[in-house]
Amino acid sequence: MIMIKNTLFLQALKGESVSRPPVWMMRQAGRYLPEFIALRDKYDFFTRCQTPELASEITVQPIRRYGMDAAILFCDILVIPQAMNVEVQMKPDFGPYLPCPIRDQKSADAMIVPDIDETLGYVMEAIKLTKEKLGDEVPLIGFAGSPWTILCYLVQGQGSKTFDLAKKLCFTEPEIAHQILQKVTDTTIAYLKAKVDAGVDAVQIFDSWGGMLSPTDYTEFSWHYINQIIEALKDHAPVIVFGKGCWFALDTMANSGAAALGVDWTCSPKTARALTGGKITLQGNFDPSRLLSPPSEIKKMVHEMINEFGKDRYIVNLGHGILPYINVDNAKAFIDAVKEYEG
Amino acid sequence: MIMIKNTLFLQALKGESVSRPPVWMMRQAGRYLPEFIALRDKYDFFTRCQTPELASEITVQPIRRYGMDAAILFCDILVIPQAMNVEVQMKPDFGPYLPCPIRDQKSADAMIVPDIDETLGYVMEAIKLTKEKLGDEVPLIGFAGSPWTILCYLVQGQGSKTFDLAKKLCFTEPEIAHQILQKVTDTTIAYLKAKVDAGVDAVQIFDSWGGMLSPTDYTEFSWHYINQIIEALKDHAPVIVFGKGCWFALDTMANSGAAALGVDWTCSPKTARALTGGKITLQGNFDPSRLLSPPSEIKKMVHEMINEFGKDRYIVNLGHGILPYINVDNAKAFIDAVKEYEG
């Protein structure tokens, strides 16, 4: 077993006291770095995901440039529907597009719970290559979308302000919706376990669209399935759950087997600590648009944020993915502010 | 002075005890009714807004069909930028588009605080015509966007998932942002006062994008200006403030001069009452997508919602605007459920 040198991130996940909080940024890999853009212009989206040499290279780029305390594997949440026999395209300037969305019993039945090695073996190869490239410097995070968030794309067929077609299926044909959600959950559990076996040190579940649901509907259509994943994974690796807009569920999440909870920027550090009873590691919550502020202001705000969350049981991060056009100096100011922090 | 027969809505705004709560639906006018769609296919968006005969007709259509307890004038929040000398187009299947967005000192300087009668007299005419058509049956609500929400469109130039360009202006050139916000605030105050003089019985401020801001930024860029409007209007008419995603500010709002606060569906009735100290009238918060449920289920959920909010200090509504393609029977089930309510 390799001992990782930079233990800040794993210590924070265990709730241990640290000299300063660890820092990484959601979407740190594969979005805004000039060295990534050079690759993006040569290879299309799923080629980058499915080619271990490219995915691992993109994963380590931000670590080389900024020295974050954790790497996150470059990949996409929609590799799961692809593996389940659903076509997913990534259209430039449009986003994900599923030409045959799942909206009835027949198409739900056609979704398979796949063999992970056969369908997603390239992810495991990318993990092994990335671990080699990272050496024993920093831990590696693997991720998956929440079943509800995957269902949003499966049913809507593309991004949406309301995901009303996804909700319509849940509200008018709940049996079909639950069948889809369970298939996605079973696939995701096998996928994340395989990732841990391949070498990731922690996993994060992204519930990007959980905040579109009422608390009651969230419990039924999102949390029920996220919790299955937590329970299945927690003895294999620490599980971080990030639900954008899911402030209303933070108390429920805090009483689960999750090791840490992501928080977005609409929930103040003080409120997030209160809602979670001060007992679980929190991760977040800098407004990604605040990286547009001047670097000196970014540093000041990061220090205030750390003081408000407290340096322990805390992982510095953005409150959502980094914007695609953030200046490298501004991203650097965010990371440096944490490294310069003296509590 | 005309006495309005159906006093439920105005009583709820005063906090008086009622036999059942009043009900109306955000975007009830001008979206989904067949009789509206017939007009929409004949006249373009701003023609409908700017022609008092059409605007008043669209306003009373849902009242005739369903008998809500309040009417809301058909109009758009972007008539304010138009009146301030900024071109606004409404593109089909795209939404608002401002060909010359406001992103620097020069364009901010070019925005005028207009004479309301000259620029928005058509709205006042529509109000007078609508009051005639409504007779003394139900009260009429007038509305405006919050200054922050208007700034989002002014700067971004169109809808956005992040309104990052609007935020960029606020975070890098706050003086210019505040100049724009103050001009919009001054115009909005004059506009809403003129609406009250023309006959509306209450006003609602829509802060559609307040929930994109952190609590700190919300205070500076949104609430500061909303509160100016409340203070200027509250002695003229009751003011309802609806901030989508603004659960984090409900406590601040509850201590303002607002008569009622709108709540979206991510905040449970119990949480909304707790955050507002149980002391102010609340309005909401049915998930608009839940109108896709079968009518019998809608009725059951509406009754549960009323029981959770309590029948007093409460106005039944959706948690955001009605979806454009909701079936008339489902909308009717929502309204009927309230009328059939027996506490």
Task: Strands of chain A (E only): list them.
Answer: 71-72, 89-91, 95-97, 140-145, 202-207, 239-243, 260-263, 281-286, 314-318
pLDDT for the residue B1? 58
Mean pLDDT of chain B: 97
pLDDT for the residue A97? 98
3-state secondary structure of A260: strand
Rounded to whole angstroms, what are the CA distances from A330 to A33, A40, A333, B165? 12, 21, 5, 16
A230: Cα separation from own chain's centroid? 14
Structural domain spans, chain A: 8-339
How large is the average pLDDT for residues B236-259?
A: 98
Alpha helices, DSSP H only, in A8-115?
8-14, 34-40, 45-50, 52-66, 79-83, 105-109
Q: How far A286 CA sits from the closest chain B CA (Å)?
A: 9
Q: At what angle do helices B116-134 and B52-66 cross, to 10 degrees?
A: 30
User: B20, B43, B65, B76: which one is catalytic?
Assistant: B76
Rounded to whole angstroms, what are the CA distances from A244 to A248, A261, B220? 11, 11, 23
Rounded to whole angstroms, what are the CA distances from A95 to A44, A91, B190? 13, 5, 42
How large is the average pLDDT for residues B7-11?
A: 98
How large is the average pLDDT for residues B322-326?
A: 94
How large is the average pLDDT for residues A18-30?
A: 96
Judging contacts by C-beta atoms under 8 Å, the chain B residues touching residue A290 are 167, 171, 214
Chain A residues at the B interface, defined by Cβ less than 8 Å, are 161-162, 164, 167-168, 171-172, 211, 213-217, 245, 247-248, 265-268, 271, 287-290, 292-294, 297, 319, 323
Residue contacts between A and B (CB atoms, under 8 Å)? 85
Q: Are residues A49 and A80 in contact, defined by beta-carbon separation less than 8 angstroms? A: no
Look at B245 and A245 and tell me if their CB atoms are within 8 Å: yes
Q: Are residues B108 and B176 in contact, defined by beta-carbon separation less than 8 angstroms? A: yes
Q: How far A267 CA sits from the closest chain B CA (Å)?
A: 7
pLDDT for the residue A2? 67
Check pLDDT > 70 for residue A1: no
Residue type, B224: H
H/E run at residue B35: helix B34-40
How large is the average pLDDT for residues A115-125?
A: 98
Q: How far B188 CA sits from the closest chain A CA (Å)?
A: 26
Q: How far B91 CA sits from the closest chain A CA (Å)?
A: 17
Q: Tell me the per-residue pLDDT of A132-173, one tens digit each, with 9 for 90 and over.
A: 999 999 999 999 999 999 999 999 999 999 999 999 999 999
Q: Is the ipTM of this complex over 0.90?
A: yes
With CA atoms as reference, the chain B residue closest to A298 would be: B171
Look at B171 and A292 and tell me if their CB atoms are within 8 Å: yes
Active site residues per annotation of A: 27, 31, 40, 76, 153
Judging contacts by C-beta atoms under 8 Å, the chain A residues touching residue B167 are 287, 289-290, 292
Task: Report residue B34: phi and psi, to 5°.
Answer: -55, -40
Q: Tell me the per-residue pLDDT of A228-286, one tens digit each, with 9 for 90 and over.
A: 999 999 999 999 999 999 999 999 999 999 999 999 999 999 999 999 999 999 999 99
pTM score, two decimals? 0.97
Give the one of A171, A248, A265 whose C-beta lies nearest to B289's C-beta: A171
Cα(B266)–Cα(B247) distance, integer angstroms: 8
Q: Are residues A200 and A73 in contact, defined by beta-carbon separation less than 8 angstroms? A: yes
Domain B8-339 sits in CATH 3.20.20.210: yes
Look at B266 and A164 and tell me if their CB atoms are within 8 Å: no
Q: Tell me the per-residue pLDDT of B250-276, one tens digit each, with 9 for 90 and over.
A: 999 999 999 999 999 999 999 999 999
- For residue B309, count CB atoms less than 10 angstroms from its CB and return exposed for 0-12, middle for 13-18, buried for 19 or more: buried
Q: Tell me the per-residue pLDDT of A200-235, one tens digit each, with 9 for 90 and over.
A: 999 999 999 999 999 999 999 999 999 999 999 999
Check pLDDT > 90 for residue B32: no
H/E run at residue A192: helix A174-198
How large is the average pLDDT for residues B187-192?
A: 98
Q: Tell me the per-residue pLDDT of B82-106, one tens digit each, with 9 for 90 and over.
A: 999 999 999 988 999 999 999 999 9
